[in-house]
Structure 1
Amino acid sequence: MNIENELFELSRSEQKHRKHHDKSMAYYEHVRKIRVRGKEVYLFAYDNLLKKNTDTFNLSSLNDKPAIILQRHVRYSYVPYHVHDYIELTYVLHGNFSETIEGKSFHLKEGSITFLNTHTIHKIGKTEKQDLAINILIRKEFLSDQIISIFPTQTRLAAFFLNCLSVENDRPDFFVIEKCPDIKPIVLEMMREQKENSSNKVEILDMLMKIFFLRLLRSQTYDIYNSKSSQMTDIIDYIAVNFRSITLDKCAKHFGFSSNYFSYLIHTKTGKTFKQLVLEKKLKYINYMLVNSILPIQEILDNVNISNSTYFYKKFRELNGCSPKEYRLKQKKQIIEK
């Protein structure tokens, strides 16, 4: 049996939802609700999905947690208004897929893709057996540097994608591609590779995911829906994504400024220097990794290109009132006590 035919088979969960669709709302009784822009919605959390989902693979060299979940959308299920703390791409393999995103209704067909940033409010319409879609869920903190490095940032779609990858960017931004047929063989191959558990699985999935992104980003017809943002917001987002290896000259060139004027612009608009902004991003990321990974402290510093460790430790202590080692122990103790 080929992978596409296998994907059409109903799972036990789908069979249950088909029989009792009206009662499937009960599934969300224990899901946390939050208020987003005045609306009470469910929060779908990545860590909760990891506990239930075995279809994960890790494209990150920075941690021990899977960066991406690749899963089939559960058909017949009721999916109310909700947001994610992760990025979601949905690819329609077959049939139709209705989605309401930030108040806009979309009726998607085979070959369509939606991309949703974190905290984008949406709900999904009822699906039937022939309505097959694959969800790619991305934990932006852990997305592989190798993936980010291949993005052709001069394109509008890629620049938008990269801005959404900023950990601090929770704006309700999304884009829709109505037809992207050349991605279908890649998606099916990823699903097949994931199910077979053959040798070199991780390396092959890594390459397939790179091809997936490159084919997606060369799309010529797409609609971007983004919240209002200023040029400075775009600059801050760009720094937040590229903080590991960014330089003033490269960043200024990306936005079409001379280095001197760009440095002046940043200081005027933020009250901080370019160097201070980059260090802030590194410190926030390091804090996160100290708590959410088991990597040695020096390896975490190396991953974000901390060259002057003496200066870094001084700034870290100023921000947190303790050393990185003490910070890690203190935060993990608080988590255990909760």
Structure 2
Amino acid sequence: MERKLLEQLSQLTPIEHRQQQTHQFIEDLDAAAIDQQAQLRTLTDYFFNSQDIYISRHNRYADYPEHTHTFLEINYVLKGIAHEVVDQQSVTLHTGDLILLDSGSTHSIQALGDHDLLINILFRTKNISLELLNDLRHSDNILYDFLVSHITGDQSHPQNYLVFNQHPNHQVQTTLNRIIEEYYQHHEFANSIIKAYLSALIVQLIREYPLNRVSQANKPQQLAMQLLTDITTNYRTINLTQLAHKYNYNRNYLSNLFKTEVGKTFSTVVTQQRLIQAHLLLASTSLPISQIMRRVGLTNKTFFYQKYQAYYHTTPQKDR
């Protein structure tokens, strides 16, 4: 990592100055980032209002309370050591180590010291390329199962977190450092580059850490993954009738299976995929919004604006 950025990340924040004196946790999040109705401290999708992947450097000198979140999270030890308790299990991470936490897992972090730097990388299911997972489906790796279970909503998967210790060839650490550099240096197209690096990171973790899978995905889960891949590829015109014919299933059966395995209706996921593509076109082209709607398969302007606002918590005009 560039020395200048490393020095920047090592500097004390105002909250750290206060925590260094009292060793008591000081709230550093907006109230909207925390689910006020939940009994356990729960972090929400607030972090993704204006970006696909959110990165922060963990504040030092005070224990961070037990919490959970609605997204996937990577804790990466850039420097030093970090002690966490994840789902009531003690985990110690050293320089170069990382832990991948599923949504719903609970964890707390013991106070970091002067020379410790812990980076939090937050992302969601839609940042994981389904085409990528489809390419990796034959890998005998628990990380693949972990990600597929998250996407399909499989609550029976035994792993809520995975720990990856520093690898001798450093490729994983290099990619993580590139992600952090892109995020903090604010270069043009940084968001797109970070998403590309995230896909590369997943492949590298599967390749460099051959963790054997515990069990194969069951047939309904495999079919749900195929349907999700079909949606990603043909989101503009896809419908359940086509897929029922393609896979030789009853349409209602396929609809119920999809809802059971994914946790969302087929139409909801199709709409979300169209919104993701619209979001990309808004950010990367100067096409009129009406033309973008047609390109992604949406024709009702009111429906588009309502769903876009609900999904991204902003308007198409603001994203442009």
TM-score for both structures, normalised by structure 1: 0.64
> Structure 2: which 5+ residue stretches go unaligned?
235-243, 283-288, 315-320
Does structure 1 residue 217 correspond to structure 2 residue 209? no
Distance in 2 between the 1:17 and 1:153 partners?
45
Distance in 1 between the 2:83 and 2:89 partners?
11
Deviates more, 1:173-182 or 1:148-157: 148-157
Distance in 1 between the 2:14 and 2:121 partners?
21
Distance in 2 between the 1:195 and 1:237 partners?
34
* Contact 1:290/1:324, CA 8 A, preserved across alignment: no
RMSD (CA atoms): 4.6
* Contact 1:178/1:222, CA 8 A, preserved across alignment: no
Cα 1:42–1:151 shift into 2, 3 Å: farther
* Contact 1:92/1:108, CA 8 A, preserved across alignment: yes
Which residue pairs with 2:79 in the alignment?
94
Distance in 2 between the 1:231 and 1:146 partners?
17
Does structure 1 residue 72 correspond to structure 2 residue 22? no
Distance in 2 between the 1:170 and 1:33 partners?
24
Cα 1:86–1:242 shift into 2, 3 Å: farther
Matches within 5 A, 1:139-154: 139-141=124-126, 143=127, 145=129, 148=132, 152-154=136-138
Distance in 1 between the 2:14 and 2:95 partners?
24
* Contact 2:143/2:206, CA 8 A, preserved across alignment: yes
Distance in 2 between the 1:224 and 1:13 partners?
41
What is the total number of aligned residue pairs between the two structures? 284
Which residue pairs with 1:32 in the alignment?
35
Which residue pairs with 1:185 in the alignment?
174
Q: Secondary structure at the match of 1:218?
A: helix
What percent of counterpart residues are identical?
Answer: 16
Q: Secondary structure at the match of 1:128?
A: coil
1:7: how far off?
2.3
1:229: how far off?
8.0
Matches within 5 A, 1:11-30: 11-24=13-26, 30=31
Which residue pairs with 2:317 in the alignment?
none
Note the alpha carbon deviations across 1:176-200, whole angstroms, 9 max, x for none.
2123343222222332333333455
Which residue pairs with 1:123 in the alignment?
108
1:137: how far off?
0.7
Which residue pairs with 1:272 in the alignment?
254
Deviates more, 1:280-289 or 1:88-97: 280-289
Cα 1:111–1:224 shift into 2, 3 Å: farther
Which residue pairs with 1:316 in the alignment?
none
Cα 1:84–1:241 shift into 2, 3 Å: farther
* Contact 1:70/1:134, CA 8 A, preserved across alignment: yes
Q: Secondary structure at the match of 1:76?
A: coil
Distance in 2 between the 1:293 and 1:21 partners?
46
Cα 1:287–1:145 shift into 2, 3 Å: closer
* Contact 1:87/1:139, CA 8 A, preserved across alignment: yes
For 1:88, give the aligned amino acid: E
Distance in 2 between the 1:162 and 1:117 partners?
9
1:160: how far off?
2.1
1:283: how far off?
3.7
Distance in 2 between the 1:245 and 1:293 partners?
14
1:5: how far off?
3.4
1:202: how far off?
4.6
Q: Secondary structure at the match of 1:67?
A: coil
For 2:107, give the aligned amino acid: H
Q: Secondary structure at the match of 2:233?
A: coil
Matches within 5 A, 1:1-338: 1-24=3-26, 30=31, 31-33=34-36, 40-47=39-46, 49-50=47-48, 65-141=50-126, 143=127, 145=129, 148=132, 152-155=136-139, 156-164=141-149, 166=151, 168=153, 173-180=160-167, 181-199=170-188, 201-202=190-191, 204-220=193-209, 222=211, 231-233=219-221, 235-236=223-224, 239-240=227-228, 243-245=231-233, 263=248, 271-272=253-254, 280-286=265-271, 296=289, 299=292, 303=296, 324-328=300-304
1:134: how far off?
1.6
